[in-house]
Amino acid sequence: MHDIRLIRDNPDAFDAAMARRGLSGVSAEVLALDEARRGAITEAEAAQAEANKAAKEVGAAKARGDDAEFERLRALVGDKKAQVQSLNDEAKAKDAALAALLMGLPNILADDVPEGADETENVEIRRWGTPRAFDFTPVEHYQLAATRAGLNFELAAKLSGSRFAVLSGAVARLHRALAQFMLDTHVTENGLTEAITPVLVREEMMFGTGQLPKFGEDSYQTREGWWLIPTAEVTLTNFVNGEVVEAGDLPMRYVAHTQCFRSEAGSAGKDTAGMLRQHQFEKVEMVSITAPDQSENEHEAMTRRAEDILERLGLPYRTVRLCSGDTGFGARRTHDIEVWLPGQNSYREISSVSTTGDFQARRMNARFRPEPGAKPEYLHTLNGSGLAVGRCLIAVLENGQEADGSVTLPAALSPWLGGKTRLTAEGGLA
């Protein structure tokens, strides 16, 4: 959400910011609604003052026996009250329309976000690791002999339809070990506070983090009105919804491992093979809630936490800064971390780490007090995957594959796998 005062004070700057998002002339519509809303409020206040004045004069007219004036004033009071009610209703309607318009406008991009139309114009920041040179042609994760028994898409289709997977046996254990490894690293070494949160949330929580109203079709809603979370960003960030926190409690850093749900409404035909793009998946999500002067450093720190997981697993990756045309609705700036998948011979996203500035905080009315007794100010919020568990599983399987169909597993996972280091071609751990 945006500060209407800033739009009033500098509409040209706001239009320039929205132009980077592909929107033109936005301020004119915003300010027209704002002017109509404020005009109705002003008229209502004037009409109320007239009603109050006439009401005071009614008694005096009655006392002096001026029946004509008494009736005139009484009728005037009634008319003015009706006018006040009508104007207040108009002001509320304009206010709701203005809020809806502002809710539907994307965040203002940071100055250092590169210009570009789509993902082809994202800018690489750095890369780590060298993709392994295979002496055979590597295959995708679902084509490995090692996953034949433990990765079942046909059974999932019988249970739920397309874009689901059933994991079992050693593959399921490996998936669980990855999540535990990520959580334990973030908690014990990075100092994040672990949380277990609901996956069903109220509608206002989805509004708070920007999934609604614009992206309702990308998520699932129950008959009772709850929404299934697309990421724990929704629950963790909304911890401060409607709150005023003390500066001494910042930054607040959380991590959660949850099931996530996305309809993938805009991805028809994309990544239909394997488990790269699913309706139900798991993520270890990081959220930071900071003071404004902390958020820039926190964005880089959060990016490094995600990168470090990949480095510990020995998985080559590259980090890119998304261009203006590829940056998500709620983000000021996003770093995508893309892991190397030899089966696809390409880098694929495994984490998006975003800073939103005060965009989400305004939607949630989440504030902090810079010092005792000071006027509250809006917080800054950040979020990032640390990591997407299923995609990390894919990367481990594909990068560790051997010619016989087995998989050599990262040494870092050994403590979470009872000392096992291989996924055999028969689908067991050894």
Q: Is 348 a catalytic residue?
A: no
Q: Which helix (H) or strand (E) holds 173?
A: helix 169-188
Distance separating alpha carbons of residues 349 and 343, to the nearest angstrom: 15
312 a catalytic residue: no
| Active-site annotation holds for 352 | yes
Catalytic residue among 288, 352, 354, 406: 352
- Cβ 192 vs Cβ 302: under 8 Å: no
Q: CA separation (Å) from 28 to 23, 108, 200, 264, 329?
A: 12, 17, 38, 34, 21
CA-to-CA distance for 250 and 291, rounded, in angstroms?
7
**Residue among 277, 304, 318, 348 flagged as catalytic:** 277
Single out the catalytic residue among 163, 173, 253, 262: 262
Residues facing residue 286 across a β-bridge: 255, 384
Task: From the candidates 57, 90, 203, 349, give the one annotated as an active-site residue.
Answer: 349
**349 among known catalytic residues:** yes
| Helix, strand or coil, per DSSP, at residue 137 | coil
The residue annotated as part of the active site, out of 391, 398, 402, 406, is: 391
| Listed residue (300, 298, 342) closest to 319, CA to CA | 300
Q: For residues 406 and 394, what is the distance between their CA atoms, to the nearest angstrom?
A: 14
Cβ neighbour number for residue 359 with a 10 Å cutoff? 24
Token pair of 87 as six digits: 């104007």
Q: Show which residues are catalytic.
A: 262, 277, 349, 352, 391
